[in-house]
Each structure stands twice: as structure tokens, then as C-alpha cells.
């Protein structure tokens, strides 16, 4: 294991100095150039006496963004990525919490990256660093409307990076196609696999994701071999039934996370790429990207649910029932995580930190766990199955119902592209929003063959297409505002 995160880039640039490290369609850098540009920026930060301080990166998803991330790490600082299209009130909340020593934007990036590399200063700084230093803070939504800054250390990312490399056999021959925005933690896999293995990283243009045909053309033209995307992107491609029209046989690792992957759409991808590896990863930002994984190793019917598998990298999962005891058999419980993968907490937010990171109730010594708020159970194979969020569990007509179970049934149907279930407490109605060719009457009839009557939606909202947030997930908040008047 390397001592600090930048050791990976130092080693990789030594092995493959002239190999392409990353490209965004506008600018391309070799590993030697990426290291030099990152250290050039880091030298300037050190000269400005910015050390072990927060640095905010306010740039489009680009080569420059990654230079800034690595520059922050080389200089002994930690970073957060700010979405340039974020509403100003939310941006202000994040900056007020993060209190950056410097905000890097288009204007001052040029100034910061135009100086000379001071090798002596960089080496002196490196000797003061260790793997327990903070690497980044990523801001997630908070229930009170105040974004929460998840604080992740270098060791956690290094352990996760090495686990990904081992588990999926990533090496310098891979070409990774990035989808996740850099302020979304799925991007951590893409970026740090690139610097640690010598794989080439393509920052795929945002526009390509709006047109599935163009996306497949990009994959084919650039020989992308590995992707780590949210399921919504894979679903949109499958819905158009265009996989057979493009030669994407270069793809041999298809990994997904962030939301439930409907098996119906996964099966379309598997039929098109029968020899490729498909893996379902799961985990909240607070446990360094992912805490469980399942490599698809058998056939599933379209209506089946996919396992989230077993624990990954340096973490251990605990499933606790309502009495804070470990579940037995197929008993449902809350998924909790312990280990060195845990975040340090929420930046400048000790109150929320102590709420989410708590003493392990089944341990006799001081040990923190993170409560995910997700409900799971073990199937007959000993694999974890995701049942839904605790806050997606409702009580309706006297029954406890997982809205995710209704969504899984709906997305298994031909003629339905995507679905999202909401619960309108004011009128005690299950509301299904969906996109697809099925009429409301046809959908009702088909669901009645799959669900008990008490789980049937009371209301259907058919949309031309489902709204997605910046991370590519179905935008539940927007749907609640639109159809239930919730703010």
C-alpha cells in the first residue's frame, strides 16, 4: 500500500509517462503531463501558505478539475467540487459551511497553473502528510435543507481504490468512460483507478448522455472497456432497443450503483454482451463510495430483484433489527457499516455527525458504525437484498409496504420504461409516476397480476419522460413537488 494518495500518480507517471491519462474532448494529458500540471498548481498553493485547508473547485467537469483535485492533494490540502450550475442559495450554504481558503474558478486557475514547479517545496510538504489526512469533502442533501459535507480521508480512498483494482482486474489496458459528475462519489472510482493503474479516463461529454445513440457511438469509437454509471443511463439505452445496432463489444466491465437496477433492462445488456462482467455496487457517500457488491453470476427473471451482495473493501456490514440486535435468517433490518471505510463525519456539523455515526450496539468496546437508513435482508444464498429506504417504507391500509417493491414490479413490465412510487400522506394514496407506452388501464391490469391489492397504486401519473437530477437518478423531490405539492 502506498503512503499517501499521490504516490499512485508518482508511480504511474514513472511507468507510463507518455501514455494518455485523461481526455475531456477538448484537452488531453499524458500521465507525465498530469503529474507535472498537478504539482505546478500545488507549488503555487504551498507558496501561498495554504496547507491542510479546504479548497473549493468551481469548474466544469474537465481535465482542469482533476488537476485541481490532485494539486490540492499534493499541497497537503483537501477539496470539494462545486457544481457550476448549482442554484446560488445552495452554493452559498455549501461555501458558508466549507469556508474554503481558496475557490479555484476559470479565472484564477490560469494564474495558479502558470507558475514553476518547486520540487524542494513539494518534497518537504509530502514528508508532513500521511494517509489519515482528509482528501475530499462531498456535499449531499440534508433533511433540513442544509447540505451535509461528508469528510473522507486518504486511507479510505486508497483502500477502496485497491479493492476495485483487485476485484475487477483493472489495469493499464482499460479505458474508463466517466459518467458521474465529480461532485458525486461514483466519480472517485473513475479518477483514482486512472491514477493508480494507468488506465485511460475519458470524461464523456454531457451532451452524449442526452442521446443514447450518440453515447453508444462514443463508446465504440473510443473503445471504452469499463463504465461505472447510475442505472438510469443504462435503462435509457435499453428502452430504445438500440444496443444491437452498435458494436460495443469493447465493453467488458459494466458496473452500476446509486439506485436500483431493474433486471429487465439488465437482461437486455447481458444478452448483448454475454461475456462482460456486470456488477451491482451499493453504498452511501459516508462509507467511501460503496460498502457491498454483487457480481452477476446467474440468470434472473425480468421481475426479480438483484442482490446487493456482500461487503467490499475495508468495511463490515451489520444488519440490525428494531432492537439493535443482529438479524437472524431472512429477518429484515437496517444496514449499518463499520470499519476504516467510514467518513470522519460531516464537515463543520458535529450535531449531524453524532446522529449518524454512533456506537456499535453489539460491540463491547468503543467502535463507531454508520446507520445507512436502508432496509435489507439476507436471501437463501446469504446475499444481501435491498428492500428500500426506511423513509420509503409506508403504512397503508394497515400494511407495511416498501415502495421499492412496487417499483421493481412495475419496471419488470414490457411497455414501461421507468417508474417511481410516492406516498401522498394527506390523502393516503400510493402515487406511481411512470414513463412508457402502457396506458394507465393497461398498467393497472398488469400490476394486479404481480402485487396484492393493498400494494396497488391509487393514482397514476404518466409522463413523456422521467425527470433526473444532476447525478442521473430519478428526481423524486421534483416529482413530489409536481404531483403532491411538497417543497
Each of the 487 residues of the chain gets a pLDDT tens digit; together they read 799 999 999 999 999 999 999 999 999 999 999 999 999 999 999 999 999 999 999 999 999 999 999 999 999 999 999 999 887 888 998 999 999 999 999 999 999 999 999 999 999 999 999 999 999 999 987 655 578 999 999 999 999 999 999 999 999 999 999 999 999 999 999 999 999 999 999 999 999 999 999 999 999 999 999 999 999 899 999 999 999 999 999 999 999 998 889 999 999 999 999 999 999 999 999 999 999 999 999 999 999 999 999 999 777 999 999 999 999 999 999 999 999 999 999 999 999 999 999 999 999 999 999 999 999 999 999 999 999 888 777 777 666 687 888 998 899 999 999 999 999 888 889 999 999 999 999 999 999 988 878 789 999 999 999 999 888 889 998 999 998 877 5
Looking at residue 470, its pLDDT comes to 83
Q: What is the CATH number of domain 204-390?
A: 3.40.50.12780
Half-sphere exposure of 5 (CA within 13 A, CB side): 31
| Residue in this structure with the C-alpha cell 511507468, named with its chain if needed | 15
pLDDT given for residue 353 in this prediction: 96
Q: Can you give the pLDDT at residue 399?
A: 67
Buried b (16+ CB within 10 A) or exposed e, 319-344: bbeeeeeebeeeebbbbbbbbbbbbb
Q: How many whole angstroms separate alpha carbon 232 and alpha carbon 467?
A: 10
Residues 388 and 408 sit within 8 Å (Cβ to Cβ): no
Give the per-residue pLDDT at 144. Answer: 54
Instruction: Count the helix, strand and coil residues of the chain and give each as a percent rounded to the nearest 5.
Output: 35, 25, 40
pLDDT at 454 (0 to 100): 79
Does the pTM surpass 0.85? The reply is yes
Q: What is the DSSP letter of 468?
A: B
List, in order, residues 6 or more apart from 143 with CB less than 8 Å away. none
CATH architecture for the domain at 397-484: 2-Layer Sandwich (3.30)
Pairwise CA distance, residues 253 & 193, whole Å: 13
The confidence score (pLDDT) of residue 19 equals 98
Following CA atoms 114, 118, 122, 125 in sequence, which dihedral angle do they give, to the nearest 10 degrees?
-100
- ∠ at Cα 128 (185, 289), nearest 5°? 10
- 231 near 160, Cβ under 8 Å? no
Give the pLDDT confidence score for residue 53 in this predicted structure: 98
Closest CA to 284 of 184, 183, 402, 359: 184
Residue 272 CB neighbour total at 10 angstroms = 16
Closest by Cα among 30, 11, 113 to 72: 113
Query: What's the grid cell of residue 250?
Result: 469493447
Do the two domains 204-390 and 397-484 of this chain adopt the same fold?
no
Handedness of CA 113, 119, 121, 123 (dihedral sign): positive
> What are the extents of the domains in the chain?
204-390, 397-484
Distance CA 418, CA 435 (A): 5
Amino acid at each position: 500500500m502506498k503512503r499517501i494518495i499521490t504516490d499512485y500518480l508518482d508511480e504511474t507517471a514513472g511507468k507510463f509517462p507518455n501514455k494518455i491519462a485523461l481526455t475531456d474532448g477538448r484537452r488531453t494529458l499524458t500521465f507525465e503531463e498530469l503529474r507535472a500540471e498537478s504539482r505546478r498548481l500545488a507549488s503555487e498553493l504551498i507558496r501561498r501558505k495554504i496547507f491542510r485547508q479546504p479548497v473549493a473547485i468551481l469548474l466544469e467537469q474537465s481535465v482542469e478539475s482533476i488537476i485541481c483535485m490532485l494539486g490540492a492533494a499534493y499541497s497537503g490540502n483537501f477539496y470539494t467540487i462545486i457544481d457550476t450550475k448549482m442554484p446560488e442559495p445552495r452554493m452559498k450554504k455549501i461555501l458558508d459551511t466549507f469556508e474554503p481558503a481558496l475557490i479555484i474558478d476559470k479565472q484564477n486557475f490560469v494564474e495558479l497553473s502558470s507558475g514553476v514547479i518547486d520540487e524542494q517545496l513539494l518534497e518537504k510538504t509530502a514528508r508532513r502528510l500521511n494517509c489519515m489526512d482528509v482528501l475530499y469533502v462531498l456535499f449531499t442533501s440534508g433533511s433540513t435543507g442544509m447540505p451535509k459535507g461528508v469528510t473522507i480521508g486518504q486511507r479510505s480512498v486508497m483502500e477502496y481504490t485497491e479493492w476495485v483494482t483487485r476485484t475487477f482486474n483493472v489495469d493499464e489496458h482499460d479505458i474508463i468512460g466517466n459518467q458521474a459528475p465529480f461532485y458525486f462519489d461514483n466519480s472517485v472510482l473513475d479518477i483514482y483507478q486512472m491514477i493508480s493503474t494507468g488506465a485511460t479516463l475519458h470524461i464523456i461529454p454531457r451532451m452524449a448522455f442526452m442521446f443514447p445513440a450518440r453515447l453508444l457511438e462514443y463508446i465504440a469509437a473510443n473503445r471504452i472497456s469499463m463504465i461505472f454509471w447510475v442505472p438510469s443511463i443504462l435503462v435509457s439505452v435499453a428502452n430504445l432497443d438500440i444496443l444491437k445496432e452498435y458494436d460495443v463489444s469493447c465493453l467488458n466491465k459494466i458496473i452500476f450503483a446509486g439506485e436500483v437496477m431493474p433486471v429487465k433492462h439488465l437482461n437486455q445488456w447481458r444478452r448483448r454482451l454475454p461475456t462482460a462482467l456486470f456488477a451491482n455496487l451499493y453504498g452511501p457517500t459516508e462509507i467511501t463510495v460503496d460498502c457491498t457488491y454483487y457480481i452477476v453470476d446467474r440468470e434472473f427473471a425480468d421481475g426479480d430483484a438483484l442482490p446487493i451482495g456482500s461487503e467490499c473493501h475495508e468495511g463490515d456490514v451489520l444488519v440490525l433489527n428494531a432492537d439493535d440486535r443482529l438479524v437472524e435468517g431472512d429477518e429484515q433490518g437496517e444496514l449499518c457499516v463499520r470499519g476504516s471505510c467510514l467518513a470522519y463525519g460531516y464537515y463543520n456539523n458535529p450535531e449531524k455527525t453524532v446522529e449518524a455515526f454512533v456506537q456499535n450496539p453489539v460491540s463491547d468496546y468503543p467502535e463507531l458504525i454508520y446507520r445507512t437508513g436502508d432496509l435489507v435482508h439476507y436471501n437463501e444464498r446469504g446475499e444481501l437484498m435491498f428492500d428500500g429506504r426506511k423513509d420509503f417504507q409506508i403504512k397503508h391500509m394497515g400494511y407495511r409496504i416498501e415502495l421499492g417493491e412496487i417499483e421493481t414490479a412495475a419496471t419488470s413490465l414490457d411497455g414501461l420504461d421507468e417508474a417511481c412510487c410516492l406516498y401522498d400522506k394527506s390523502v393516503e394514496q400510493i402515487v406511481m409516476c411512470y414513463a412508457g407506452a402502457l396506458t394507465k388501464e393497461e398498467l393497472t391490469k398488469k400490476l394486479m397480476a404481480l402485487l396484492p391489492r393493498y400494494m396497488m397504486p391509487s393514482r397514476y401519473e404518466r409522463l413523456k419522460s422521467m425527470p433526473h437530477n444532476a447525478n442521473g437518478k430519478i428526481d423524486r423531490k421534483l416529482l413530489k413537488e409536481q404531483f403532491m405539492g411538497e417543497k
